[in-house]
Amino acid sequence: MSDNLQHLVDLLPQLGEGILVTLGLTLGGAVLALLVAFTLGFGSRAHTKWARVPSRVVVEFFRGTSLVVQIFWLYYVLPLPPFYVELDPLACGIIALGLNYGAYAAEVVRGSINSVAKGQWEAAIALDLGPVHRMRRVILPQAWPLMIPMFTNLLIQLVKGSALAAYISLHDLNFFTNELRDRTSDTIFSYTVGLLCYFVFAYLLTLVMNALEVRAKSRLGVGPSLREVLRLAPVQTKADVGAAAPASAETKGGDRA
Amino acid sequence: MPENDTTPAIQFQGVGKRFGDNVVLDGLDFSVAKGDRVTLIGPSGSGKTTILRLLMTLEEANDGLIYVDGDPYTHEMRGDKRVAIPEKRRSLVRRRVGMVFQQFNLFPNMTVLENIIEAPIHVLGKPKAEAIASAEALLDKVGLADKRDARTTQLSGGQQQRVAIARSLAMEPEILLLDEVTSSLDPELVADVLGVLRNIAETTDITMLIVTHEMQFAREVSNRVLMFDGGKIIEEAAPDTIFTSPTHERTKEFLRAIL
């Protein structure tokens, strides 16, 4: 076991690289997915079929095809004739993750916007707020808190999906796990370390997303502000963030004291 | 505006509205003079609320024309063809019409003040300081000056509805549509809201179109009552007349049922 730990310490630089690559894939993929989600989500709600039909087709296509095949397609097929497009492996990973999870997230955007109460749309029309203004100032601020928990799920899936990048020569966390196994010849140890790495990674992202959710809800006048939540304890756990909403009255009382 | 302006504030010409096979309004003609306070009564499904929603462009008429202060609103005749008016022109008419809803529909992502100044600043292009000043005056008028910075979710239903009234008045509408504005309030909160509306009726010359079940309020505030049934006006009179001696059998029946 101490040999294993020694190998792990020796491989720390590789672990660092793996974390960076996985982080790059995750953040790059998530930003692209967010852009794709809003573009296709709004597109699917458009009045003209020229925006709606292509949006639906793209969403259904990327939801309905395998992420592995998409990554391999970008990496192995695009450089071939007639395309001759050779992409950096990191770019392949980011594009595949962004399109795939963006297609799922487009449904989240569309559904959340549609679930803002009809009366809110009508009140905005009655005040003669134009369509863009209506969306930006009235509908989206209310749809956003509905989107975040679903985005969190997709983000965690995206982190795990990013492990596929090891198969197109990227040195991510998954690649590091295999490297560790080669070095230690201890399969149980290596893959357990791999599991833990992904778990910690996903968990940290969950905490960030939970903070975003608290903030978005507090802006709607539901639940405490992020500052109030963080003031409860310097170190936050997921349970604290979750439990903070019902405890809002106490939090406010504490503030005044 | 010229003196002795007799152009009606609202005019419906042969307006028809259908939802699928259900005919809600059928060739409806009526007009409302400037400064009139008209209450629409009638059984549910008789088309009263639809009239307000047509005037707010929340629904679109299938036939006929609607004029606001003489201006065609959603459709106009070009030759003998009825054509839709583009959104830009509709918008100019729409901002002269305000509406207060049964469910208040305040924006929960904004404070009370922000709810009121949003449209005056961004739609009418008022300077922010001016919009805030008139919002504060309106909040004072509806008795909620101290709630200026409150979140709408912290207010009672009656307070929310008074903010909603202030919000629609901030657009300085020529016409105010009131759609069952007390129907979702607890009984003890109704009086405050009605008091505010009574005050507005007394102190402004805004044309009001009111759908309500508060017959006492209708009697005090309105100068004309229209009784609807099956998408048509079946009786029309001053409130004192219609409430004490209705002539139409359906009106008698309806008033007996709700009074």
Q: What is the pLDDT of residues A173-195, one digit of tens each?
A: 898 999 889 888 888 998 999 99
For residue A45, the distance in angstroms to the closest alpha carbon of chain B comes to 18
Nearest to A128 among B94, B101, B164 (CB): B94
pLDDT at A251 over 90: no
CATH of A16-171, one of 3.20.20.30, 1.25.40.10, 1.10.3720.10, 1.10.286.10: 1.10.3720.10
CB contacts < 8 A (A, B): 68
Tell me phi and psi for residue A3, to 5 degrees.
Answer: -60, -45
Are B168 and A221 in contact (CB < 8 Å)?
no
Residue B202, judged by CB atoms within 10 A of its CB (0-12, 13-18, 19+), counts as exposed
pLDDT tens figures, A19-46:
999 999 999 999 999 999 999 999 998 8
Residue-level pLDDT at B118:
96
pLDDT of residue A145: 92
Which alpha helices (DSSP H) does chain B contain, by range? 48-55, 87-94, 112-122, 128-141, 157-169, 187-203, 215-221, 239-244, 249-258
Q: Is residue B138 part of a domain?
A: yes
Q: Which residue of A has its CA nearest to B90?
A: A128
Cβ separation of B171 and A142 shorter than 8 Å? Answer: no
Judged by CB atoms closer than 8 Å, whether chains meet at B118 and A137 is answered as yes
Mean pLDDT for chain A overall: 86
To the nearest 10°, the Cα dihedral for A211, A214, A216, A222? Answer: 180
**Mean pLDDT, chain B, whole residue set:** 92
Q: Is A221 on the interface with B (CB under 8 A)?
A: yes
The one-letter amino acid code at B74 reads T
Domain ranges across chain A: 16-171
Residue of A nearest to B91 (CA): A128
Whether the Cβ atoms of residue B209 and residue B40 lie closer than 8 Å to each other:
yes
Considering the domain boundaries, does residue B133 fall inside one? Answer: yes
Tell me the shortest Cα–Cα distance from B242 to chain A, in angstroms.
31
Does A82 sit behind a cis peptide bond, omega within 30 degrees of 0 on the bond before it? yes
Name the residue facing A127 among B58, B123, B154 (closest C-beta). B123
User: What is the distance in angstroms between the Cα of A138 and the nearest Cα belonging to chain B?
Assistant: 7
Of B86, B97, B80, B62, the closest CA to residue B174 belongs to B97
**CB contact set of A35 (below 8 Å; sequence gap of 6+):** A98, A102
| Predicted local confidence at residue A231, as pLDDT | 67
Asked whether the beta carbons of residue B56 and residue A122 sit closer than 8 angstroms, the reply is yes
Helix, strand, coil % over all residues of chain B, rounded to 5: 40, 25, 35
Cβ-contact B193, B173 below 8 angstroms: no
Question: What ipTM describes this predicted complex?
Answer: 0.93
Which string of DSSP letters, residue by residue, matches chain A? -HHHHHHHHHTHHHHHHHHHHHHHHHHHHHHHHHHHHHHHHHHHH-SSHHHHHHHHHHHHHHHHS-HHHHHHIIIIITTSTTT-----HHHHHHHHHHHHHHHHHHHHHHHHHHTS-HHHHHHHHHTT--HHHIIIIIIHHHHHHHHHHHHHHHHHHHHHHGGGGGGGT---HHHHHHHHHHHH--HHHHHHHHHHHHHHHHHHHHHHHHHHHHHHHHHTTSS--HHHHHHH-SS--HHHHHHHTTTHHHHHHHHH-
Amino acid A233: pLDDT: 54
Residue type, position B107, single letter? F
Report CB contact under 8 Å: A125, B153: no
Could you tell me the pLDDT band of residue B4, with boundaries at 50, 70 and 90? low
Enter the DSSP assignment of B111. Answer: B
The answer to whether residue A244 scores a pLDDT higher than 80 is no
Q: Do A125 and B94 count as a contact with CB atoms less than 8 A apart?
A: yes
Residue A166 has what pLDDT?
87
From B166, which residue of chain A is nearest by alpha-carbon distance? A127
| Pairing status of strand B224-229 against strand B207-211 | unpaired
Q: Average pLDDT for residues B148-164, to the nearest whole number?
A: 94
Owning domain of residue B126: 107-172
pLDDT higher than threshold 70 for residue B89: yes
| Residue B191 lies inside a defined structural domain of this protein | no
Mutate which of A47, A128, A140, A219 to test chain B, going by most B C-beta atoms within 10 A?
A: A128
Q: Which SS3 state, helix, strand or coil, does residue B155 take?
A: coil
- The verdict on residue B152 lying in a domain is yes
Residues 6 or more apart whose Cβ sits within 8 Å of residue B258: B213, B215
Q: Work out the average pLDDT over B80-100.
A: 94
The total number of structural domains that make up chain B:
1
In this predicted structure, the answer to whether residue B23 has a pLDDT above a threshold of 50 is yes
How would you classify residue B35: left for phi > 0, otherwise alpha for psi between -120 and 50, otherwise beta?
A: left
A122:B152 CB<8 A? no
Collect all residues of chain B within an 8 Å Cβ-Cβ radius of residue A117: 105
Contact assignment for B109 to A120 by CB distance below 8 Å = no
- Judging contacts by C-beta atoms under 8 Å, the chain B residues touching residue A220 are 108-109, 153
Q: Give me the percent of chain B exceeding a pLDDT of 90.
A: 74
